Structure 1
Amino acid sequence: MQLYCLYRIAVTLLGCLSTVAHGYQIPPRDYELNNYFIVELKDDYKVHDFIDRHRNIYKFEHQLPRLDNHYVFSIDKKHPHNEFLGNYNSNNYDLFKRDYSGDGYEDHIALLLADVRSIHALPPKQLEKRTPVYYSREEMIEKAAKRDYKINDSSQEGLKKVADQLKIEDPLFIEQWHLINTRYPGHDVNVSGLWLEGIAGKGIVTALVDDGLDFTSPDLKDSFNAEGSWDFNDNGKAPMPRLYDDYHGTRCAGEIAAQKNEFCGIGVAYDSQVAGVRILSGRITAADEAQSLIYGLNVNDIYSCSWGPTDDGRTLAEPEVIVKKAMIKGIQDGRDNKGALYVFALGNGARFGDSCNFDGYTNSIYSITVGAIDYKGLHPSYAEACSAVMVVTYSSGSGEHIHTTDIKEKCSAAHGGTSAAAPLAAGIYSLVLSVNPNLTWRDVQYVSALSAVPVNEEDGSYQVTKLGRKYSHKYGFGKLDAYKMVKFAETWKNVKPQAWYYSDVVDVMKKWEGTKVDAPPPAGGPGRVKRAPEYKDSIILSVISVTEDDLKVMNVERLEHVTVKVNIDSSFRGKVGVKLTSPSGLISELASFRRFDGSGSGFQNWTFMSVAHWGEDGVGDWKLEVYPSEEDMKKVDIGFKNWQLRLWGESIDAEKAEKYDLDVDYSKIRRDRLEAKPIEVSSSAPLSSSTSEAVATSDVTVPTSTSSPSSTATDDSSKEGGTEDSEDNHEGANKQYTNDHTGQYFMAVAILGFVLVIIYMRFHRTPGGSKRRVRREQYEFDIIPGEEYSDSEDEDAAFANERGRRGGRDNSFELGTIVPSGAVPMEDPDYDENLPSKQLSGGEHFKVAEDEEDYNVNDDNENVFDDTHAIQEEEEQEEEQEDHIDDESNNEPASEADILTPPLNK
């Protein structure tokens, strides 16, 4: 037995060493004969013990790199244990057979589950490329009739000047309108000014998670980073395209890093590098998908992903739990703990009524979701819209496409869709990181929101957010302007670490039974929101009230992302709408109607996401409305069971920042902290409150009753974590308030020390005792860390302490007056609107800050980020702004200077 155990240990070690030595070389899989699954072992359990205990049933395959305690095993399909083996604490459901009695498996199942935290089944699957974009006959005629470009055309003078100065001789460059648009000046990414300053993405690596990358292409061979590349479809180091339609990844790579070399065109960040991670050309498992998103995490800075669930207007899909954990690993550990960037294409299903909030990749808080506009600045008919859209950039439409590199030493003039917008954005982020590599993944999202340029304001149904920025479900915060964004990022001051709040799971248990209603059709024409009065209770309304104490105990200062997890039954999912209204009145349309989505499964444990509430303080009533399609009220039944609100944002105190764990129930943590620290919470404040009612019109009425929620959080994806980790979290809760009572503790220790000294002097007087007492008192003083204490051996901790001391800012965030802590002075003379443009080919739009939408700053409020030592000064400012605040309902954006208001140096 001992020899066997030593053998299993040796096998395990060799497997791990092989993984390290060969990148991610895994044993060949035989899906015809075996089933595969991931075992997540408990922290104190050793894998060789698990192998030894189950050696006659499960075969060890390999370890999952970078995911602690996760191992892949297989089982012969003929083995009887396949009868019960399935997911356990995974993907919001369990597939283990529940009735074990009499089947002979009771002992083994109990033994198996005693060792593991979770089990994830690994059936093979095929990931979907974004739905191809097809063009109408009219669009193709327009493209065919496009005039022939000539370099001596007067409209090309600016482009020629850039080409001459940078020695660009690539033949396709003149066609790359997304870089310099001479036909519709201003509708490009505004990048040439950066190139002229020598900024072209040097030192940054973008991994194309796609169908391969032709690294033999003349445009890409010098840009290719082999260390960050892997082929998960053919299990090898070289992610070469092998199938006839494996061209997409190469085209995307050309958009980013195609070289200046007289071949095809150039990339927006032509000095950067690209890696290829091939996953879209065959069957893979969730384990492969998870590893693809963290492969080369020590090399790859950005992961560009132009894939997701099918864009057919009826699919509802999200990443599996193991994939979510991989993305969390990426944002926590990537780029030296600053976080890898995940850039996802929005989706091409708008023609089918699809929305990106039905896609769990694009509505992840860890993704930068990128939409598209065409070369005229218009919204293409294929581009989806939702409250998760961060920004847009250029792609195909109006008869034009993206021109880029192709496989087999060819060039492409037919690249498009949001699949092309995402890598273009990734290239721009390469430029940003090259000038400020210290940005965290969240800071990049801040920079995106604050420097984006609103487009088509008459079309996008824009709302003015608490950032003082305009937001649209179609265009996000606007289009990416490379020059403006890079200059904004150069002097950006990082925000404090992330914090989060989970509400309780609120039971609603309300129904709309349209099939039982006998009434005439709804009043109002197409697109009208007015509903016929005969349809009573057509909107189901539920309210969650968030208090200052709720956010304080969870260390949340102001919001970034908002997620809503719902359980809604429906006889026709596509006829159910869901809308969230924040305390400030901003609206996120979470679920839009989809005419092709006839599923009767509704939304079960589904999470929606919104970035529209960025900058709000989060305190107040959050209202969720669930309602039927106006045109089909009589044809759909809806049952709103429950929901949970989750708020994500910047922490109050950086020193109290925590590491997020997907398996932990943070609503329980919040309740424990509120109960453990009653001195911090008003005794009259409820832990949380909720109101549910049905209303007959779209108007939200005042809640009629308030009570504690009838249920506690029961997040299926975190069943075990919330219970198993409760003791650790409770200890963390006590630690949360250590600094709040530092002065009291110090006084108590000082008094105790004084008493001890008196006793010591009274009973132990000896020659030289006075001198020893002085040394002892000095020693006691030295070892008690005060506010200015930091560990000199840990620079990161010292930085965090310093950030925490600066972080006691006023929590107000009034419209047009306050901006996130990252706002910094923009003193570069290039920002003077009277100076000439940095892009030689265009007009006024190339300046960094020139129209009132650019940064929205109030020049009269320069000290808006003062800390608690300047509260009195801020109160005086608030009195002066009282009239302005009263007029917020006008929704007027603030002036250009708002976003440039600097934080005070403390």
Structure 2
Amino acid sequence: MGKKKECRILKSFENDFKNINYLNNSDFSSKRIFVTSEFPCSLNGEDNILREESVNSQQQTFVPKRVYTNQWAVKIAGGHQEQADELASKYGFRNLGPVIPGGEFFLFESRTLGKRSLRKVRRHLHSSIRREENVVWLEQQVVKKRVKRDFLAPLSPHQLNQNIHSPSLLRGRRPPGISSVNIPILKPIIADGSVIQHADYVENNGGNGEMEEDYFMAGDDFLDMNRVQDRAYYARMKFSVPNDPFWKDMWYLHRRDDQPDEMDHNVKEAWALGYTGRGVVITILDDGLERTHHDLAANYDPDASYDVNDRDEDPMPRYDYADENRHGTRCAGEVAAVFNNSLCVVGIAFNAKIGGIRMLDGDVTDAVEATSLSHNSQHIDIYSASWGPDDDGRTVDGPATLTKNAFERGITEGRQGKGSIFIWASGNGGKDADSCNCDGYTNSIHTLSISSATERGNIPWYSEACSSTLATAYSSGASGERMIVTTDLRDSCTKTHTGTSASAPLAAGIAALTLEANQNLGWRDLQHIVVRTAKPVNLRAGDWRLNGIGRNVSHSFGYGLLDAGAMVRLAKVWRNVPKSKKCRAIYPNPYKTIPRGNRLHLQLYTDVCADKRDNHVKYLEHVQAIVTLSAPKRGDIQIYLTSPRGTRSTLLAKRQRDTSRTGFKDWAFMTTHNWGESAYGTWSLEIDNDGLDDAELLKWELVLYGTDVFIGPTGFEPSSALSERSVQTSHNGDSFTDSGVEQRSIRWILVFIASLLPLLIGLLVLS
């Protein structure tokens, strides 16, 4: 096919969109506006403008027209509802209430304007409202492009969707002789003076599975445990196979049963220890949740659900012939599908409560995102999001004002102050050489960004590499590799859930098991546990490197594959980390020209705010390089950051499709690769310009997040010498020395010598 005919945008918009035909609200939300049936246009999320769409061409012609809504976000000092009502009424609006509960931002809706317009409201109205005494800020809401990260164009006919609907499933796939449901029974075991628990599962015949040996892993062994999974313990554990018909297809949960040399998410160990998600609440931010699905209904939580698109309490998806809104229901099944009910699958956290926020099936605005991310934050523990800006290799987009506020309030106030857990899919733009560091959601310090690995441990063809990814969960891969099995619309099941969309809910389920093991974990505690327990074993990438404290890390896989068993074991003994500190270091006189075909190399020494007690960062967690630069072609720019310990992070890889001339303005490129390193010393920023014209650096600011005390293998230990010691590093390539590792090695040497003493004494006696 040739190029589609030019999209003709009408010059007159007296009646906005009167010549634009669309079937219903969802057709607009799916980012396709029909001027006529022949002339499709699509929404570009980065600039919120209409653009021409080409079929066999990567080139697109941009028409500079934003799509405005009839809603305004208004910040009112003090956040008083009465003042908001009066102000809205005065200017012909209806106050829809606070965007974030308890906050100062309110959402006003015009009583006279249409829902969408290509013209911004008259400037004098903005000026009049801004002059009101208590108004701090206001902004007309614009439509943002947000894409679900599941649908991937099949690489072969074998990857086409294959849904298995419930009528045939119930008739032909129910195992015979099912008389009872497996129920986990917690039994305390005394081991080494400590109480642990494990779950024996009631088998179908009424018997109990039993653990043949008591098992306990001391806290000192966690660093050793982090190297490989304890297969001996796993093999000793008996497990009653659930009767859910697609359990056998859930290779990512149990394939070590038959393939001991392969990896899985080790959830059976977490279950055997008694952790199934009980008491934890997860919500899926998506296109709706089929709450009536027979494999989800028992775990459905209405208090964790809301329809932001239609502003009501019911998150049920809108049905159409293509099942376009199946995404949220698929994600939910991975997390909390019911265990052993003869239907579909087993959720990783099958005793957790699951909710859904319907927010993608309509106009997505800053207010929609913020409302979704802050819904009932004292009740919901984990928010799972498998969507984001377009993964097209040219978009740079992220949270706007309201959504940033929702994240900040979530991590400071959510979960009774422990912090809401935000888990995000890293993106599917691999085929377009996209970078997830250009996605402000996965690139945020507030989110736990999850990438994907294929069944064979390879980098999926759709995966994006970036330094903000923390860890990895399984998903689909190339032809011949299995996908993710889960619930689907219309009370059905599917074996073809794909993309990073499928990885994030697996991570959410594992996080739920971890929170059940220790309900006092904060949002940063969970990230620390992920870093310490993720497994790089059998994940194939060419960029695995040891960071400055000896941890393997990759731009494709983060710190490795999530291990549920290791996470719950570490969570049980974890001590909460102290409050995070933040140190800023600004590069002086940053105005630098980057000649075409050249590299700019800058160095910045920091004493990590040693003279400021509240900002003193010795040991790192997240690191941001905030950059402002201009470039004739943004995609020609590459950025690298090297820490004082020699860890080099790729903050931005080359994006050939990104032809934007807008550059970057205060964009915070984030890396997790320096986790645990000392922050002292000289940081290096390298900027490559592969373009045909010069680029200009206008600003570089380094932001360090972390603590002023060392976080040990089981968290913060204020009463021990561990919290006060300094980490001594000798970095020459891959070498690293940690005094804690040395102490543990010395201890084991002494134990070994002590074990030989009786033999030596016996030999002396005989002699």
Q: Fold conserved (TM > 0.5)? A: yes
Q: Is it true that 1:111 corresponds to 2:111 in the alignment?
A: no
Equivalent position to 1:482, from 550, 564, 570: 564
Q: Is the 8 A contact 2:583 2:608 kept in 1?
A: no
Equivalent position to 1:231, from 288, 291, 307: 307
What is aligned with 2:604?
A: 544
- Measure the CA separation in 1 of the matches of 2:148 and 2:734: 40
Look up the SS of the partner of 1:450 in the other structure.
helix
Equivalent position to 1:387, from 467, 491, 494: 467
Q: CA deviation at 1:543?
A: 2.6
Change (3 A) 1:330 1:900: farther
Q: Is the 8 A contact 2:641 2:686 kept in 1?
A: yes
- Measure the CA separation in 2 of the matches of 1:889 and 1:477: 21
Letter in 2 for 1:340: S
Letter in 2 for 1:646: V
The answer for unaligned runs of 5 or more in structure 1 is: 1-30, 87-95, 97-104, 144-148, 152-158, 515-534, 653-808, 812-817, 826-861
Q: Is it true that 1:622 corresponds to 2:692 in the alignment?
A: no
- Measure the CA separation in 1 of the matches of 2:630 and 2:459: 33
Change (3 A) 1:580 1:39: same
- 1:405-426: CA deviation from partner (whole Å, max 9, x where unpaired): 1111211010011100000000
Equivalent position to 2:375, from 278, 285, 295: 295
Equivalent position to 2:327, from 243, 248, 263: 248
What is aligned with 1:62?
A: 96
What is aligned with 1:719?
A: none
Q: Is the 8 A contact 2:130 2:138 kept in 1?
A: no
What is aligned with 1:322?
A: 402
What is aligned with 2:653?
A: 592
Change (3 A) 1:614 1:423: same
Instruction: Please give the TM-score of this superposition, normalised by the length of structure 2.
Output: 0.72
Look up the SS of the partner of 2:253 in the other structure.
coil
What is aligned with 2:722?
A: 865
- Measure the CA separation in 2 of the matches of 1:602 and 1:472: 27
Q: Is it true that 1:194 corresponds to 2:270 in the alignment?
A: yes
Q: CA deviation at 1:644?
A: 1.2
Q: CA deviation at 1:612?
A: 0.7
Change (3 A) 1:33 1:647: closer
Letter in 1 for 2:318: R
- 1:371-409: CA deviation from partner (whole Å, max 9, x where unpaired): 011111221111111000100011111431011111112
Q: Is the 8 A contact 2:84 2:95 kept in 1?
A: no
Letter in 1 for 2:156: R
Q: Is it true that 1:136 corresponds to 2:182 in the alignment?
A: no
Letter in 2 for 1:251: R
Q: Is it true that 1:411 corresponds to 2:493 in the alignment?
A: yes
Q: Is the 8 A contact 1:615 1:820 kept in 2?
A: no
- 1:840-883: CA deviation from partner (whole Å, max 9, x where unpaired): xxxxxxxxxxxxxxxxxxxxxx975154xxx7xx7xxx9xx7xx
Letter in 2 for 1:475: F
Q: Is the 8 A contact 2:458 2:541 kept in 1?
A: no
1:889-900 pair list within 5 angstroms: 889-892=732-735, 898=741
Equivalent position to 2:696, from 639, 659, 663: 639
Equivalent position to 2:715, from 798, 812, 822: 822
Letter in 1 for 2:394: R
Greater Cα radius of gyration, structure 1 or 2: 1
1:195-594 pair list within 5 angstroms: 195-243=271-319, 244-260=323-339, 261-398=341-478, 399-456=481-538, 459-504=541-586, 506-514=588-596, 538-550=598-610, 552-553=612-613, 554-594=615-655
Look up the SS of the partner of 1:327 in the other structure.
helix
Letter in 1 for 2:357: V
- Measure the CA separation in 2 of the matches of 1:413 and 1:279: 25
Change (3 A) 1:548 1:278: closer
Q: Which moved more, 1:461-470 or 1:369-378?
A: 461-470
Look up the SS of the partner of 2:290 in the other structure.
coil
Look up the SS of the partner of 1:166 in the other structure.
coil
Letter in 2 for 1:123: V
Look up the SS of the partner of 2:263 in the other structure.
coil
Q: Is it true that 1:122 corresponds to 2:141 in the alignment?
A: yes
- Measure the CA separation in 2 of the matches of 1:899 and 1:380: 38
Look up the SS of the partner of 1:351 in the other structure.
helix
- 1:72-117: CA deviation from partner (whole Å, max 9, x where unpaired): 224445999932269xxxxxxxxx7xxxxxxxx6xx46723x5322
Q: Is the 8 A contact 1:131 1:349 kept in 2?
A: no
- Measure the CA separation in 2 of the matches of 1:330 and 1:341: 8
- Measure the CA separation in 1 of the matches of 2:661 and 2:551: 39
Q: Which moved more, 1:546-555 or 1:422-431?
A: 546-555
- Measure the CA separation in 2 of the matches of 1:386 and 1:404: 28
Look up the SS of the partner of 1:556 in the other structure.
coil
- Measure the CA separation in 2 of the matches of 1:32 and 1:639: 31
Q: CA deviation at 1:33?
A: 11
Q: Is the 8 A contact 2:130 2:137 kept in 1?
A: no
Q: CA deviation at 1:571?
A: 0.7
Q: CA deviation at 1:504?
A: 3.3
Equivalent pairs: percent with the same residue?
33
- Measure the CA separation in 1 of the matches of 2:120 and 2:673: 48
Equivalent position to 1:82, from 121, 130, 137: 121
Change (3 A) 1:134 1:400: farther
Look up the SS of the partner of 2:283 in the other structure.
strand
- Measure the CA separation in 1 of the matches of 2:539 and 2:456: 14
Aligned length: 602
Q: Is the 8 A contact 2:717 2:723 kept in 1?
A: no
Q: Is the 8 A contact 2:645 2:678 kept in 1?
A: no
| Greater helix content | 1
Q: Is the 8 A contact 2:145 2:389 kept in 1?
A: no
Look up the SS of the partner of 1:437 in the other structure.
coil
Look up the SS of the partner of 1:400 in the other structure.
coil
Change (3 A) 1:375 1:54: closer
Letter in 2 for 1:592: A
Letter in 2 for 1:329: R
- Measure the CA separation in 1 of the matches of 2:552 and 2:644: 18
Q: CA deviation at 1:57?
A: 2.2
Q: CA deviation at 1:458?
A: 6.2
Q: Is the 8 A contact 2:88 2:95 kept in 1?
A: no
Q: Which moved more, 1:551-560 or 1:203-212?
A: 551-560
| Greater strand content | 2
Q: Is the 8 A contact 2:73 2:141 kept in 1?
A: yes
What is aligned with 1:733?
A: none
1:662-811 pair list within 5 angstroms: none
- Measure the CA separation in 2 of the matches of 1:192 and 1:290: 36
Q: Which moved more, 1:166-175 or 1:247-256?
A: 166-175
- Measure the CA separation in 1 of the matches of 2:242 and 2:248: 10
Q: Is the 8 A contact 1:36 1:72 kept in 2?
A: yes
Look up the SS of the partner of 2:659 in the other structure.
coil
- Measure the CA separation in 2 of the matches of 1:356 and 1:581: 19
Q: Which moved more, 1:67-76 or 1:400-409?
A: 67-76
Q: CA deviation at 1:69?
A: 1.7
Q: Is the 8 A contact 1:58 1:73 kept in 2?
A: no
Look up the SS of the partner of 1:35 in the other structure.
strand
Look up the SS of the partner of 1:170 in the other structure.
coil
- Measure the CA separation in 2 of the matches of 1:177 and 1:34: 45
- 1:168-206: CA deviation from partner (whole Å, max 9, x where unpaired): 111111111111115644321111122233221111111
Instruction: Please give the TM-score of this superposition, normalised by the length of structure 1.
Output: 0.62
- Measure the CA separation in 1 of the matches of 2:402 and 2:499: 29
